[in-house]
A and B are shown apart, each in its own frame.
Chain A
Amino acid sequence: MVEAISVIIIIFALFAWSRALLRFKDKKIKGSEFSFWTLIWLSVLVLSLNPELAGLISFKLGIERPVDLVVYSSVLLLFYLNFRIYVKQEKTEQEITELVRELALRKK
């Protein structure tokens, strides 16, 4: 019997994955990025359909409660995504600077 919360998570995961697919089709994200998100949402789907799997993995990893495994993985994922956003922001900043520089040099 699938719990209501699992249904909500599954629907959300499918929705989020469909967004990633659309962005990939529009060539707004790369194949590697699409694979990354597919892996993430697929893992969420599998764990929602088989909650006992989370218990098994957390047991193997020495984590007492399966919910802790989910929390730890989420924190790690958020840190990683935050880092990627920083990197992207830094790149964008450099591109803006380069544009501003070219404008300054062209006007002269």
Chain B
Amino acid sequence: MNISVLIPAFNEEKKIGEVVRKLKAQGYGDVVVIDDGSEDKTGIVAEKEGAKALYHVINRGQGAALKTGIKYCLRNGADIIVTFDADDQHSPEEISKLVEPIINGETEICIGSRFLKNTTNAPFVRRLFLRGGALLLSRMYKLNLTDSHNGLRAISKSAAEKINLTADRMEHASEILEQISKKNISYKEIPVTIRYTEYSLNHGQKSWDAFRILYRMLFRRLIR
């Protein structure tokens, strides 16, 4: 089975090298970094560490970067695509837990959950928004989720071919869940560890972004 690890990255030159190195050390040879119009040397640093880097000439958002990466991975024969964050929040050691059920044919997508076994040091407000989001998305899409907007997932080739992301920005994570529901893609939540650091909290999404994501989701639904 060809496993590709896909990392959308925007201005992550400080961490991307370490992330790629750790993945390579775990034996993941096919690491694809989508440099989403970074103003720093994200793509170059990733390439130096042995990743394949694809460059968006301007920033289009994480959803757009993921779609580019998925397209690339599928064209290059990936059987499983693992989506991974660039800010060193995820543990490469846990990828095997996510891909195993797919290899065994149990499911098409494995979604990481930081709340299944409460394996996160997420601050209280972030925890509140994520749990609230999971509850809302579970109701909206008739899924059984404990976590929302977790960037660590493993997607089988068959699921990747079915999913067509149209949301360029952060609402893509909700769109993936929507398509899982609508296209009857089998899924499984797997407990994963998410390490929040000062860097990731300052660099990544803010809790209040949840409102913007919700607004974008509703607006997109309105114009569809």
Contact = CB atoms under 8 A, between A and B. Distances in A.
Are A and B physically bound partners?
yes
Given A93-B168, A94-B168, A105 B68 contact: yes
A60 interface: no
Given A86-B223, A100-B68, 13 more contacts: A86-B219, A90-B220, A94-B168, A96-B60, A97-B168, A100-B37, A100-B57, A100-B58, A100-B64, A101-B60, A101-B64, A104-B34, A107-B54
Contacts of A104: 34, 54-57, 68
Interface of A: 83, 86-87, 90, 93-94, 96-97, 100-101, 103-105, 107-108
Given A87-B223, A96-B60, A108 B166 contact: no
B60 A100 contact: yes
A86 B219 CA distance: 10
Interface string B208-224: 00000000000110010
B54 A108 contact: yes
Given A100-B56, A103-B57, A105-B54, A90 B223 contact: yes
B133 to A, nearest CB: 23
A97 to B, nearest CB: 5
Interface residues of B, number: 21
Most chain-B CB neighbours within 10 Å: which of A94, A97, A108? Answer: A97
Contact of B71 (A83, A94, A101, A103): A101
A86 B223 CA distance: 9
A98 B172 CA distance: 15
19 contacts: A83-B223, A94-B166, A94-B168, A96-B60, A97-B60, A97-B61, A97-B64, A97-B168, A100-B57, A100-B68, A101-B60, A101-B64, A101-B67, A104-B34, A104-B56, A104-B57, A104-B68, A105-B68, A105-B75
B189 to A, nearest CB: 29
A106 to B, nearest CB: 10
A105 to B, nearest CB: 6
Contacts of B68: 100-101, 104-105
B22 interface: no
B219 A108 contact: no
Interface in B53-111: 54-58, 60-61, 64, 67-68, 71-72, 75
B77 to A, nearest CB: 14
B52 interface: yes
Contacts of A107: 54-55
A9 B52 CA distance: 62
